[in-house]
Amino acid sequence: MFKDLFQKKRKYATIPSERRGSEDGSQSMDRPKREIPEGLMNKCARCGSIQYSKELEKNFKVCSSCGYHMRLNALERIRYTMDEGSFTEFDADLISVDPLEFPGYAGKLEQQALKSGLREAVVTGQGTIGGFPAVVAVMSFDFFTGSMGSVVGEKITRAIEAAAEKRLPMIIFSTSGGARMQESILSLMQMAKTSAALARLSEQGGLYISVITDPTTGGVSASFAMLGDIILAEPGAVFGFAGRIVIEQTIRQKLPDDFQTAEFNLQHGQLDLVVHRKEMKATLSKLLDLHGVKGGA
């Protein structure tokens, strides 16, 4: 008897509900549907976990459940990497045109600009990282899948030339689907153009750090992305020239599950280091310090 009296009380959760009248006059206990504001939550593409967007932003857009590094646009990456208020953009007025009058290309350029909020697939400029000055070029996959057209190649080349002139290190964050087919041979020429600019920087003793992010393929991976004095990559970043399906069909063999990931390429000598996004700024700052760049916090 006494045992029953002193048992812990059960806890109940109160569930709010509203009575709604039906056509026949009866009352319904159905709960009203609640509208969730768009952008409040995000779903991880790898593990499917749901997270608050604000918490995800604080975590550098890295899934807290599985560590998946979600894609960043150029402006987000600049905000996470450069010292606050230090970045000055180069060539913001350079935009792509339709040199070959490719059907529908001009309209797609307008759509991409509206969708991404960017004027091109790369943002270039100068700023400081941990107090150390550097010239940076940051590609953005959400503008035409980061494809390299004439303007992308021109902006990167000008940034490399600025780094050489100012005796500053060059850092390029790559993400791309490759050459932009709507510009045909003009796009392919950017591979040689950017590579030649990097060769001139190297001859002057300049430092070039390449940071590969997911995904980096095609002409970008076959040119400046793989020419760094130091090559870093984010965890899980996929990069290579041709895609998995094309390679498997060509060699008629099944490729490893982790083929072309940053970890796979590190094991096979294609990378120097795989760096978590949270550690990227500190790692770049340390590399700049080790290479004698003047400055520092």
Alpha helices, DSSP H, located in the chain:
2-5, 53-58, 74-81, 105-116, 150-166, 184-203, 218-221, 244-251, 262-267, 277-290
The dihedral through the CA atoms of 152, 227, 179, 71 has a sign that is: negative
Q: Is 63 annotated as a binding residue?
A: yes
Q: Please give the structure tokens belonging to residue 151.
A: 């303007």
Question: Could you say which residues of the chain have pLDDT below 70?
Answer: 1-38, 296-297
User: What is the predicted pLDDT for the residue at 15?
Assistant: 47
- pTM of the shown model: 0.85
**Residue 66 marked in a binding site:** yes
Q: Is 273 marked as a binding-site residue?
A: no
Q: Are 53 and 39 in contact (CB under 8 A)?
A: yes
Q: What pLDDT is attached to residue 154?
A: 98
The reply, when asked if residue 88 is annotated as ligand binding, is no
What are the chain's domains?
A: 40-70 (no CATH), 72-291 (3.90.226.10)
Task: Report residue 38: phi and psi, to 5°.
Answer: -65, 135
Q: What is the pLDDT of residues 247-278, one digit of tens each?
A: 999 999 999 999 999 999 999 999 999 999 99
Give the DSSP H or E segment for 41.
strand 41-43
Helix (H, G, I), strand (E, B) or coil at 216: strand
Residue 188 near residue 219, CB atoms below 8 Å: yes
Q: How many CB atoms lie within 10 A of CB 23?
A: 5
